[in-house]
Amino acid sequence: MQESKYKRINTKSLFEEFKSGLENLELTEEGLRLGRRELYRPGDFILDDPDLDLRDVDADECGTLYIIDRYSLSILTYNRDFEKLRFPAYKPKALAPVVTDPEGIAVDENTVYVIGSFEVPVEGRKKGLAALGKKDLKVLWTVLKGPDGFPLKDLTDLDIDSAGNLYVLEKGRHRVLKLSLSQRNMSFSEIRGGELNEPENIYVDADGALHVFDAKTGYFVFRTDGTVEKREITSSTQEIVSRRRAQDSGKNMYLISETRKKLRFLEYIEENSPDPEGVFKGTYLSKPVDSQARKTRWYRFLLEGSFPRGTKVEFHYYISDEVLEENELKELPESEWEEGLPGSSAAQGEEKRDALFRTECEGRYLWFRIILTGTEKLSPEVSSVTVFFPKVSYLEYLPSVYMENPANRDFLDRFLAIFESLFFETDLEIDHLGRYLDAAGTPPEFLDWLGSWVAASQGRGDLGDRKKVPEAKQRELISRAVPLYRERGTREGLENLIILYTGKKPIIVENISSGCIKENQGQKKEMQKGYENPEQKKFLFFPPEAARVKLPAGKGAVRREVSLHEVLFGREKFSFFVFFNEALTEAELELIRNIIEEEKPAHTTCKIKVLEPWFCLDGHTYLGENTRLKRPEFVLGKHSVLGRDTALGAEKCPDVGGGDRETGIMLIEPGPVISSREPDYLNRGFGHARK
């Protein structure tokens, strides 16, 4: 019996590769479905007051709106679930001590960002950006200069994305500036691309794309992958794109009216797109599937996906020994296409469609056409297309007498195909059983079962942490389980396991008594018999026994002196430390604790520590790990602090180049304005303050 082959198209990239034509359908990670369009249904006016002067609006992660009202110099707050919200700090004139002429607002989890005019001593009013505490509206820091060192000019709008990037529209210089708040040292950069001549407003959508409306050159979308799209502005979208607006996590829109007296709610709606005739239908046309043999008798096809009631999926095919060009295929008469799915195929359920190719259709190449029909809300989805060839039949298992009469043979062949269809998938699974035993190829639902063979699903799985680990790392763990077990209980094994799960390399230090590492007359004393750890000696030097530290005395107690080794590593002999050079999240820390508890020798104890990035006398400071030197500078972030050796005052400081220069870094509190002058290498065009 001839072996059956198959070709499966089950990923977005494969659907793209075999695509010859696509009409009113979209390719997603799940497969083929009807194209979708985004609509906004006009809702009620949230605010409607002639005494308002609304300048900008933004929504936080909880859906609460923050609205700038220039008339009252305050921030109004609103939530659809709780109606109007009142915060003690958000009172009329709350912004008066900080900023005049507020123009824009953006919010994140802990901070409110406002642009406007700031009163600067001697220099007068200056445009800038201020970060305010979300609870009390106290100033955290301000920005008065751009990336080129010049004062900011005519700031008109700002917004923030979920990654912590703040976007500021500097209309006076026809550009959009980006401030990365997630970086340790914040700095401006200019957004490149697009033709901005008269930008009016910006906003960031729920997908992180930056939208810029320019009154002269049009509407631009800067996507997160670096591409820039210019969109046409229609009469229906003009009113939205030209206004100040915000979008919440549900993609609902909030729009300030042209008079700045009203704020309107627009409900986000996503529905399937109709074709030009108004029917919710789409077509996928394939490139040829090559069987590598002429006169091939194609066997069967299988469509997998989701086919809800009220929707329809059609499968048409064309078979030939000659290759057709793309334009020839599209001009092929409808009568040349064979219909593969009859109307009764809906009886097969909502997850698959399965049928045989006609016996008389032979040829090397197969083209297929999938037509999906749905409704405004429902769409069929095809996640996988599989074609099998050449034709096989259970008739070949019967004596030759059953194949002598052509008419009877054809009937019996089709009759046996019913049973063959029932057993085919089972036979296919048996033929490819080996993939279930391969960590790289086994289906996700079999990962735990395969992991149990090498005990990779125990321990951390019981603690619920394996569910938080990406599937790719679980597969890698199973494939490397045997070599990892050889290293279990060793420093190398623990290090490799932590790297595999977190991607962060630890520094593992075993607590060795200083008596085991000391020199005697220039000769290193032999370490304990059988012990050698050359990797540890590369970066670690234990303090000698002579290094002593006086501990502070408590009330009524006497100060005592202990060795520095004891202060750093403790007294326990069977212990070790796991150091990290970068910060850990709570989830990573919990996962590392569980890994260590599962893998370490039972009689040992362990401590985890994240190394500080600076020198710390009598602390964990290791040469080449956390001993980098740099000049003192301001450190800005959500928890802003003044750097060490920072002097605030009104005098000029010498420039690095030898001259004198005023940098204009501003620190602003609700009240008097304080000015400072910093050396040139600190001049980044921004300042900050903290009480």
Between residues 423 and 680, the one the model is more confident about? 423
Q: How many residues does the chain have?
A: 691
d(CA 566, CA 571): 6
pLDDT greater than 70 at residue 685: no
Two tokens, residue 579: 């150091």
298 residue type, one letter: W
- At 283, which helix (H) or strand (E)? strand 281-286
pLDDT, tens digit, 9 for 90 and up, residues 377-416: 999 999 999 998 888 778 878 888 888 888 788 788 878 8
pLDDT tens digit sequence for 42-73: 988 988 999 999 999 999 888 889 999 999 99
How far apart are the C-alpha atoms of 581 and 505, rounded to whole Å? 8
CB-based contact 605:577 (threshold 8 Å)? no
Least confident span in 39-43, 265-269, 509-513, 682-686: 682-686
Give which of 75, 480, 14, 578 is closest to 284, Cα–Cα: 14
Pairwise pLDDT comparison (387 vs 343), residue with the higher score: 387
Domain range annotation of the chain: 5-35+276-390, 42-271, 393-431, 487-516+533-552+559-610
- What integer pLDDT is reported at residue 164 of this predicted model? 83
Residue 491 has pLDDT above 80, yes or no: yes
Give Cβ neighbours of residue 38 (< 8 Å, ≥ 6 apart). 251, 268, 269, 270
Contacts of 252 (CB under 8 A, 6+ apart): 265, 266, 267, 268
**Euclidean distance between CA atoms 442 and 520, whole angstroms:** 59
Joined tokens for residue 608: 């985890």
Instruction: Determine the pLDDT at residue 513.
Output: 52
pLDDT at 19: 94
The C-alpha angle with vertex 459 and arms to 453 and 464, in degrees rounded to 5, equals: 110
What are residue 120's DSSP bridge partners?
A: 124
pLDDT surpasses 50 at 462? no
Which residues, listed in sequence order, are joined to residue 315 by a DSSP beta bridge? Answer: 370
The one-letter amino acid code at 352 reads K
Retrieve residue 536's tokens: 């540890």
pLDDT of residue 58: 92
Distance CA 664, CA 146 (A): 12
Which H or E element spans position 13? helix 12-17
Q: Is 651 exposed, middle or buried (0-12, 13-18, 19+ CB in 10 A)?
A: exposed
Which two structure tokens, joined as six digits, stand for 396? 């070949």
CB atoms within 10 A of CB 115: 28
Binning pLDDT at 50, 70 and 90, where does residue 564 land? confident
The DSSP call for residue 522 is T
User: According to DSSP H, which parts of 183-320 are helical?
Assistant: 235-241
Sheet (strand 245-247) strand order: 36-48, 262-272, 253-256, 245-247
Distance CA 315, CA 320 (A): 17
CATH class of 5-35+276-390: mainly beta
Specify whether the CB–CB gap between 347 and 354 falls below 8 A: no
The CA-atom distances, in angstroms, between 594 and each of 108, 460, 591 are: 33, 7, 5
Whole-number pLDDT of residue 35? 94
Distance CA 605, CA 573 (A): 9
Range list of β-strands (E), 90-151 = 100-107, 111-120, 124-133, 139-143
The neighbour count for residue 672, using CB atoms within 10 Å, is: 8
Amino acid (one-letter) located at 73: L
Q: How confident is the model at residue 313 (pLDDT cuts 50, 70, 90)?
A: very high
| 99-153 tens-digit pLDDT | 888 999 999 988 999 999 887 777 778 888 999 998 888 888 888 888 888 888 8
pLDDT in tens, 596-650: 988 888 888 898 988 877 777 777 777 777 776 655 555 555 445 554 445 554 4
Contact in structure between 562 and 551 (CB atoms under 8 Å): yes
Q: What angle do CA 498, 479, 29 make, to 5 degrees?
A: 90
Angle formed by the axes of helices 491-502 and 586-599, nearest 10°: 150
491-502 helix and 471-479 helix, angle to the nearest 10 degrees: 150
Query: How confident is the model at residue 410, as a pLDDT?
Result: 79
Strongest mean pLDDT among 156-165, 170-179, 247-256, 317-326: 317-326
Residue 200's SS3 state is: strand
The pLDDT score that the predictor gives to residue 521 is 36
Whole-number percent of the chain with pLDDT over 90 = 26
User: How far are the Cα atoms of 326, 359, 384, 456, 611 from residue 317, in angstroms, in the given order?
Assistant: 15, 13, 16, 46, 64
pLDDT of the residue at 287: 94
Torsion of the alpha carbons at 290, 292, 296 and 302, rounded to the nearest 10: -40
Q: Looking at the predicted structure, is the pLDDT value of residue 84 above 90? A: no
Q: What average pLDDT does the segment 241-267 reach? A: 89
Separation between Cα atoms, residue 426 and residue 405, nearest integer Å: 31
State the CATH class of domain 42-271.
mainly beta
Whether the pLDDT of residue 533 is over 60: the answer is no
pLDDT at res. 405: 83
Mean pLDDT across the stretch 641-665?
42
CA distance 174 to 399: 84
Q: Taking the alpha carbons of 380, 381, 387, 392 in that order, is the dihedral positive or negative?
A: negative
Residue with token string 């085991």 = 516
Query: 590 — alpha (psi -120 to 50), left (phi > 0) or beta?
Result: alpha
Output 350 or 535, whichever has higher pLDDT. 350
Confidence of residue 542 (pLDDT cuts 50, 70, 90): low
Residue 87 has pLDDT above 70, yes or no: no
CA 205 – CA 391 distance, rounded (Å): 52
Of all helices (H) and strands (E), which one includes residue 623? none
With residues binned 3-state (H G I as helix, E B as strand, rest as coil), the percentages for the chain, rounded to 5, are 20, 35, 45
pLDDT grade, residue 330 (50/70/90)? confident
Query: β-pairing, 36-48 with 262-272?
Result: antiparallel
Residue percentage of the chain with pLDDT more than 70: 80
pLDDT at 63: 85
Token digits of residue 527:
């370490």
pLDDT mean across residues, the chain: 79
Q: Is the dihedral of CA 41, 45, 47, 48 positive or negative?
A: positive
Return the pLDDT at 523.
42
Residue 234 — pLDDT band, cuts 50, 70, 90? confident
Q: What are phi and psi of 302, to 5 degrees?
A: -140, 125
Spatial contact of 119 and 671, defined as CB atoms under 8 Å apart: no
| Main-chain phi, psi angles of 442, to 5 degrees | -65, 145
CA dihedral 83, 89, 92, 96 (to 10 degrees): -140
Which residues lie across from 289 on neighbouring strands? 366
Instruction: List the end-to-end C-alpha distance of the chain, in Å, as a whole number.
Output: 84
Q: Is 130 exposed, middle or buried (0-12, 13-18, 19+ CB in 10 A)?
A: buried
pLDDT, position 677: 34
Lowest-confidence segment of 253-257, 531-535, 567-571 by average pLDDT: 531-535
The residues, any chain, with a CB within 8 Å of residue 458's CB and separated by 6 or more, are: 452
- pLDDT confidence tier of residue 250, bands split at 50, 70 and 90: confident
Q: Do domains 5-35+276-390 and 42-271 have the same CATH topology?
A: no
Cα separations (Å) of 534 from 470, 538, 550, 578? 34, 7, 32, 17
Distance in angstroms (rounded) separating the CA atoms of residues 146 and 179: 10
Does position 459 have pLDDT exceeding 50, yes or no? no
The full 3-state SS of 156-176, as one line of letters, equals EEEEECCCCEEEEEEHHHCEE
Of 79-83, 118-122, 281-285, 351-355, the least confident = 79-83
